[in-house]
Amino acid sequence: MHPAARTRATFRTGPMPVPQPRTRRIRSLIDADALRVLHRAARVLLDDLPELTDRLLAVLREQEPAYRSVLENDHAGTWQEVYRSLRHSVTSLLDPRGTREAAHRCTWRIGVARAEQGLPLDALLHAFRLGGSLVWQRLVEETSRSEPEDVRLLVHVATDVWNFVDEHCTLVADAYRQAERQLAWRRENRVRLLAAALLDGTSRIADLPETAEGLGLPKHGRYIVVAVAGSRPEESAGVLATAVLPGTSAYWHSGAEVDYGIVLVGDEDDRDAVAALALPADAAAGYRIGVGSAVTGLAAVGDARRLADLALSICPPEGGTVRLTEHLPEALVASCPELGASLTEQVLGPLLRLEPADRDVLLDTLVVWFASEGSAQRAGERLYCHRNTVLNRLRRCEQLIGRSLARPLDVVEISLALTAHRLPRG
């Protein structure tokens, strides 16, 4: 075969070249030209950043009321912040990858700083969008001035410019919200610490104004503390804040085992103030609730807490509500458990060492007789026995303990000893 023929055959049977679409080539050229125009205008903007910053601040002062006070209080600091943000915006047009991280850090810091200052997020986002709009406007102005015929090419990079603005609006909003959550947590934790110190009685006088503001309660007023314990301590504050104390000003402090309500009451006396608290049995089911007596002034809440704890200590184990003002004898004994135990042993010791069945009958008879105001007749009705049976049991009690139920001092000792015996043990 002639060499030329082989060449022709090879040409015919060899791989066919893939033609490049003409539109892709044209698009690449357009993009390159658009970037060249963008970079040229951006370099001019870098030299004009101070003037650009002044323009943006003027627009913010005119259109965004929240920034007016910011500018009045710290014009120099705000100017520097806006200048840095605009510089990162413009340099990102020239080198998106190389400047991305620094631009993100700058935007994040702005979001955090403005959240800490309390500037509304809407105002901050408005400022970023105004900044993006102003940069784009200046790019178009500069290109129109220097190369009017190239303005049409900027359309091909407009999406990139506005994507950058949207990205940083999202970023500054994320930074703002995260900082806001941290600030809220710090405020809540600070209030919790102040409330804990108040309840412990270790609050400083200098902290009282801040404590009053944080708790939403006045420094001067009358307060009662409610102590709540139960099988579901994590729920007690929420349940009782709405159901137990309707219509009252209160702050609830959750503890590890006991929750405390600091409740503002009126100027009435202690008994009336405590009675004014609505403590329905159905709302308190499953809880032990101790209500202390009233104290004057927020600084005395530590004393009120101790009174509430004292009331809680004499609550029945199965649950219920004890108002301290209605159980003062029990509270008196419970305030010193060691003395209560000594009194019980000294007064009731011989009776308590009887056989359980005999002991329980005599103890029940004493308790019911006291509850019946010393009436053997009413006590017998409650115990389902004849009054003479009650009297016989009482005489046996007197013989065992060596005291007389006809002698006032002995009656007081026996009553307090019975109270100490019935109180829940630690």
405 to 149, 394, 410, 419, 424: CA distances (angstroms) = 116, 8, 6, 16, 25
The contacts of residue 92 (CB under 8 Å, 6+ apart) are 99, 100, 103, 164
Let me know if residue 372 belongs to a domain. yes
What is the extent of the structural domain holding 394?
A: 337-422
Same structural domain for residues 92 and 139? yes
User: At CA 252, angle to CA 246 and CA 254, rounded to 5?
Assistant: 140
The confidence score (pLDDT) of residue 16 equals 43
Domain total for the chain?
Answer: 3
User: At CA 340, angle to CA 338 and CA 344, rounded to 5?
Assistant: 120
Same structural domain for residues 353 and 397? yes
Q: Which helix (H) or strand (E) holds 265?
A: strand 259-265
The confidence score (pLDDT) of residue 2 equals 43
Same structural domain for residues 61 and 180? yes
In b/e form, how buried is each residue of 316-341, taking b as 16+ CB within 10 angstroms?
eeebbbbbbbebeebbebbeeeeebe
Nearest CA to 211 out of 308, 297, 115, 307 is that of: 297
Let me know if residue 3 belongs to a domain. no
Let me know if residue 393 belongs to a domain. yes
Quick one: tokens of 202?
Answer: 């270790």
For 377-404, write each residue's pLDDT tens digit.
999 999 999 999 999 999 999 999 999 9
The contacts of residue 260 (CB under 8 Å, 6+ apart) are 199, 225, 226, 227, 228, 252, 253, 305, 308
Q: Is 289 helix (H, G, I), strand (E, B) or coil?
A: strand
Same structural domain for residues 359 and 324? no
What CATH number did the domain enclosing 27 receive?
1.10.490.10
Same structural domain for residues 249 and 397? no
DSSP letter (8 states) at residue 120:
-
- Among residues 328, 362, 377, the one where a domain terminates is 328
Compute the distance between CA of residue 124 and CA of residue 169 in angstroms, rounded to an integer: 9
pTM above threshold 0.85: no
The confidence score (pLDDT) of residue 160 equals 85
What CATH number did the domain enclosing 373 receive?
1.10.10.2840
For 32-78, write each residue's pLDDT tens digit.
888 899 999 999 999 999 999 999 999 999 999 999 888 988 999 99
Same structural domain for residues 365 and 317? no
Same structural domain for residues 307 and 345? no
Let me know if residue 65 belongs to a domain. yes
The confidence score (pLDDT) of residue 237 equals 52
Same structural domain for residues 114 and 73? yes
Beta bridge partners of 287: 230
The confidence score (pLDDT) of residue 278 equals 52
Let me know if residue 364 belongs to a domain. yes
The confidence score (pLDDT) of residue 1 equals 44
Strands 320-323, 287-291: pairing kind: parallel
Let me know if residue 194 belongs to a domain. no
- Among residues 163, 184, 205, the one where a domain terminates is 184
Nearest CA to 417 out of 359, 369, 346, 354 is that of: 346
Type of residue at 45 = L
Residues of the chain with pLDDT under 70: 1-30, 231-248, 267-286, 424-426
Let me know if residue 212 belongs to a domain. no
- Among residues 286, 305, 328, the one where a domain terminates is 328
Same structural domain for residues 171 and 239? no
Same structural domain for residues 290 and 232? yes
For residue 233, which phi and psi values (nearest 5 degrees)? -60, -30
